[in-house]
A and B are shown apart, each in its own frame.
Chain A
Amino acid sequence: MKSFNFHSIKSVKEAQKLASGKSVYLAGGMTTIPAMKHGLASYSDIIDIKNIKDLSGIKVSSKSIRIGAITKHAEVASSKEVRKSISSLALLADGIGDAQVRNRGTIGGSIANNDPTADYPSACLALNATIHTSNRKIHANKFFKDMFETALKKGELIETVEFQIPTKSSYEKFPSPASLYAMVGVYVAKYKSEVIVAVTGAQSVVYRCKEIENALNSNFSASAIDGVKIKSSGLNSDIHASSDYRAHLIKVLAKKAVTGCK
């Protein structure tokens, strides 16, 4: 690992002041640190944001849940409020990585990193999330650009993620057997006005599956998905799953999610 300056800071302002072209914000460090250890990334300055109190915590209103960027997966998983308002979100957090990851990794880190196989991005899309940053509000639909690429500008820091509480919802993941990342993950959320189906792990970036959404909008039942054709072109293909298998899993998991919706 190359040497670097380490800054432990207490406010968002301080963070932005230190940010430069060669710096990186460090939350849980679940991706940044391994990447640095493997020599895949190096930075002149590491800005540790874990001690910014304002970025932590969960606030629930009648319509939405706001989760601070440095809130750990384990905190979301065990939050009574989250479990009550959007139980699928708590379950999603409970299924990320392993116990060590869940006790270090943060929601902001996961979203900012935008790993194509991460779980949280699908929750953001499905739950109509708004990402509140140090500079602005970004709707989830416009946040996830491409593999490891987001709408965040250099130095911009995620402060909270606000999820809209659906009527019912469910997340189903088929983990890749080696890494336990989502080979495919399907998040189904039903609102009064629409059904949203977000898929992670299957393409270079999380996306909404319009075919299944259309089917569910007219008939919210697992059987409605039977007739949907999922094209395998454009889906990821790797040693663990071909694009055909992923296409197959999207339907299987979507059906399971619909059945499990609550």
Chain B
Amino acid sequence: MASLVGSRVERKEDKKFLTGKGRYTADINLANQTYAYFVRSPHARASISKVDVSKASNAPGVVKILTGDDLAEDKIGGLIAGWKIVSQDGTDMKVPAHPPLANNTVNYVGDHVAVVIAETLDQAREAADLVRVDYKVLKAVVKTSDALNSKPIHEGIDKNLCFDWGLGDKSKTDEAFSKAEKIIKIDLVNNRLIPNAMEPRASIGDYNPSSENLTLYTTNQNPHLTRLVLSAFCAIQPEHKFRVVAPDVGGGFGSKIYPYAEDAVIAWTAKKIERPVKWVAERTESFLSDCHGRDHITHAELAVKNDGKIVGLKVETIANLGGYASLFATVTPTYLYGPLVLGLYDIPVAFCNVKAVYTNTTPVDAYRGAGRPEATYMIERLVEKAAKEMGIDRAEFRSKNFISKFPHQQCLVHNIDSGDYSAHLNKALELSDYKNFENRRTESKSKGKLRGIGFSTYLEACGIAPSAVVMSIGAGVGLWESAEIRFNATGNISVFTGTHSHGQGHDTTFAQIVSDKLGVPIENIDLVHGDTDKGPFGMGTYGSRSLAVGGTAITKACDKIIDKGKKVAAHMLEAKPDEIDFKAGEFIVKNSNKKKTIGEIAFACYLPGQYGEIKSPLPEGVEPGLKETAFYDPVNFSFPAGTHICEVEVDQDTGETKVVAYTAVDDFGTVINPMIVEGQVHGGVVQGIGQALYENARYDESGQLITASYMDYTMPRANNLPELRIDYTSTPATSNPLGVKGCGEAGAIAAPPAVMNAVIDAIDIDISMPATSEKVCNALQKNKKNNKEAA
């Protein structure tokens, strides 16, 4: 059997997805089901004196209406921030209470006030209109830049400051700057994004009063952790009587990592009324209540020698957390951001300061890349600016500062095991035909278009994460992963993983690994995920961790299967276990033709004894069955890197910017399925282009989200994109046996600075994301005016 690792195996899951047979949470309907509709705050900030449900309770079909008071009475706990960040002064971060239904204040438009349960969805929605909430509207803090200077929105949290965190050696950095020959400065805004997964969030709670078991079906990337939080912190149901199922999930991008208020409320309500309760978000609810991403304001400075060698970096960032601290909200702008500000450059000293603030906006949490896109945007914009100001070619400036020896201990946190940054840079230069760019610029000019080119050479830290490391810096959980390989008697395999696939193609990629490892045809391997009742506890999918951590756990479980198989085969073939070789699905006695297939061994494991012709003995002391579990805790992060080069054309009359060429050369280590990886790069790059040119979550002064529909929030469309030129280089990771590094977030990390550097190169003036037509047009007019004045 030919090796499947490295080949473009068609996705096993596509048949169901492409023929409309996916089974999503909203597709599930249970007998005696009720429908939930949430009463949400129309105000960004208000205190609530009374929630009057009397009229609504009498509306047709209403089963139950529950409020924050009911929640408190049942002692249901609040949502948590799962990662403790300590400020520079040694104090712990400050986190406000976050009850799933508002207690007496609301802190963003869309915040949850009450839930109406009725026999039909229409009845629930109509009754929700009759719930009277007495709000006293309070002055909202909306802008990231205003938070530190505004009165606290949460009692006892001065300056709305969650933490003031520092990373690096400040005094050494200051010293490097005092000696620097040149200092390059930049001010940046990383625009707020709305995740927009294709499938809106949904939850169904189902309580069985007989067994006292509670099941929650939910759109989630991380069902075990969701169960843990809802059990241990919200106290809705003990873990052993609680099943969380995340069936097919239509995209997450981070926004479905964590349990939401709706999950807690639906689970609790179903138990309370002893009937299934179904809630499916309307698209407007997704805009308002799915955690948003990014939203940073940053000032950064780069200290450089005249020859272009970087000697130091200073970064100051204000990160907006929104109205509450969501589950991974505090780690995203700190440990997922700070260490990455160095990029893939050999920078001897650096200091990064992050102040995280509360505002009356939707909570911000991890979104594709989570912290790493923000870091990459900063360093790649800064480096491009430095190269330009110093008159050094952008490729040369970068390559001069690349880390070139591995392993490399960075001055902040990471120890990078492997990489070859010149390799992907050179390949990208060639693929993008960089040397002829100026000809293309001239050609565009003749058509009245301004052409620009922009680079992004990025590094990310994936394979999240070594438990000992992350727990020492505040993580409330370890970030290992689990796997179970369960051979059935007939020789096919169920593989259980604690990761979750919601578009990544795990069913195929993981099956390729198992098929190669155990020599079983891929069609006989089934991946099982997303159900806490089935597989062992796992930590879910995010941070490009599934393959590096989850895939390694699967590999280890396969190794255990082979070990046991050798014992059984040895006994059956009258040899010693160490005389058995395992290859391509066969256990072979060394230097002989005596062998057993892995199918025969599996069969033997399940039918020990003799039955007619069949003789399947197990060696003494070996348990029947062929099923192995492995937990893998990574020894290090993995470090994908790459070079992306973008070319844009700007219409001088309208300011409209089009990406006309895009090259991505990534080093993801070993690539298991190049087709799936290409898909991940495509999706990521498009999201990155979206952030750079189109997407922007905007609030008005009172805190109303004014981009709460597709009429106003601009998503990238297929016709906004050129054909993407994609290639790879490979330096296998040394931290896992597969040599894989992770590919899910790279595009979204690399693309925004590549696009913006290209736009700025084209129009020769600094503008912020998104580079909308109007913004670019105004910049061009300003340039024209300045040039006139100068002349």
Measured CA separation A252–B654 after assembly (Å):
7
The answer to whether B72 has its CB under 8 Å from any CB of chain A is no
Q: A239-B698, A240-B774, A248-B777 are in contact. Are A179 and B711 (CB under 8 A)?
A: yes
Assess the B654–A1 pair: CB atoms within 8 A: no
- The proximity string for B residues 643-678 relative to A, scoring 1 for CB distances below 8 Å and 0 otherwise, is 000000000011010000000000000000000000
The answer to whether B437 has its CB under 8 Å from any CB of chain A is no
The answer to whether A178 has its CB under 8 Å from any CB of chain B is yes
**CB within 8 Å of B: which A51-67 residues:** none
> What's the least CB distance linking B515 to chain A, in Å?
40
Assess the A178–B713 pair: CB atoms within 8 A: yes
Measured CA separation A241–B711 after assembly (Å):
13
List the A residue with the shortest CB-CB distance to B122.
A1
Which chain B positions have C-beta within 8 A of A39? Answer: 125
Partner of B707, one of A174, A239, A256: A239
The answer to whether B488 has its CB under 8 Å from any CB of chain A is no
**CB within 8 Å of B: which A222-262 residues:** 239-242, 245, 248-249, 252, 256
* Chain B interface residue bracket vs A: 20 to 34
Assess the A178–B777 pair: CB atoms within 8 A: no
Measured CA separation A11–B392 after assembly (Å):
75
Assess the A177–B654 pair: CB atoms within 8 A: no
- The proximity string for A residues 166-191 relative to B, scoring 1 for CB distances below 8 Å and 0 otherwise, is 00000000100111000000000000
Residues of B contacting A: mostly = loop
The answer to whether B772 has its CB under 8 Å from any CB of chain A is yes
Assess the A242–B774 pair: CB atoms within 8 A: yes
Assess the A177–B774 pair: CB atoms within 8 A: no
Which chain B positions have C-beta within 8 A of A1? Answer: 122
Q: A239-B707, A252-B653 are in contact. Are A245 and B714 (CB under 8 A)?
A: no
Assess the B654–A178 pair: CB atoms within 8 A: no
- The proximity string for B residues 670-713 relative to A, scoring 1 for CB distances below 8 Å and 0 otherwise, is 00000000000000000000000010001000000011001111
Which chain B positions have C-beta within 8 A of A174? Answer: 654, 656, 773
Measured CA separation A179–B709 after assembly (Å):
9
Which chain A positions have C-beta within 8 A of B715? Answer: 178
Which chain B positions have C-beta within 8 A of A240? Answer: 712, 772, 774
Assess the A177–B694 pair: CB atoms within 8 A: yes
Partner of B711, one of A178, A242, A252: A178
Partner of A177, one of B698, B772, B777: B772
Which chain A positions have C-beta within 8 A of B653? Answer: 252, 256
List the B residue with the shortest CB-CB distance to A242.
B774
- The proximity string for A residues 181-203 relative to B, scoring 1 for CB distances below 8 Å and 0 otherwise, is 00000000000000000000000
List the A residue with the shortest CB-CB distance to B284.
A38
List the A residue with the shortest CB-CB distance to B694.
A177
Which chain B positions have C-beta within 8 A of A249? Answer: 654
- The proximity string for A residues 1-32 relative to B, scoring 1 for CB distances below 8 Å and 0 otherwise, is 10000000000000000000000000000000
**CB within 8 Å of A: which B542-567 residues:** none
- The proximity string for B residues 403-446 relative to A, scoring 1 for CB distances below 8 Å and 0 otherwise, is 00000000000000000000000000000000000000000000
Measured CA separation A250–B773 after assembly (Å):
14
Assess the B710–A179 pair: CB atoms within 8 A: yes
List the B residue with the shortest CB-CB distance to A256.
B653
- The proximity string for A residues 92-135 relative to B, scoring 1 for CB distances below 8 Å and 0 otherwise, is 00000000000000000000000000000000000000000000
Assess the B710–A177 pair: CB atoms within 8 A: no
Which chain A positions have C-beta within 8 A of B710? Answer: 178-179
Assess the A245–B713 pair: CB atoms within 8 A: no
Partner of A239, one of B122, B694, B706, B773: B706
> What's the least CB distance linking B704 to chain A, in Å?
12
Which chain A positions have C-beta within 8 A of B694? Answer: 177-178
Assess the A177–B773 pair: CB atoms within 8 A: yes
> What's the least CB distance linking B412 to chain A, in Å?
38
Assess the B654–A241 pair: CB atoms within 8 A: no
> What's the least CB distance linking B34 to chain A, in Å?
19
Measured CA separation A27–B713 after assembly (Å):
28
Measured CA separation A251–B711 after assembly (Å):
25
Measured CA separation A39–B282 after assembly (Å):
13
Which chain A positions have C-beta within 8 A of B698? Answer: 239
Measured CA separation A218–B129 after assembly (Å):
59
List the B residue with the shortest CB-CB distance to A177.
B714
Measured CA separation A179–B698 after assembly (Å):
16
On A, residues with C-beta under 8 Å from B are 1, 39, 174, 177-179, 239-242, 245, 248-249, 252, 256
- 10 A-B pairs whose Cβ atoms sit less than 8 Å apart in the complex: A1-B122, A174-B773, A177-B714, A177-B773, A178-B694, A179-B711, A239-B712, A240-B772, A245-B773, A245-B777
What would 18 more interface pairs be, CB under 8 Å, given A1-B122, A240-B772? A174-B654, A174-B656, A174-B773, A177-B694, A177-B714, A177-B773, A178-B711, A178-B712, A178-B713, A179-B711, A239-B706, A239-B707, A239-B712, A240-B712, A245-B777, A249-B654, A252-B653, A252-B654
Listed from nearest, the 5 A-B pairs whose CB atoms lie closest are A178-B714, A177-B714, A245-B774, A252-B653, A179-B711
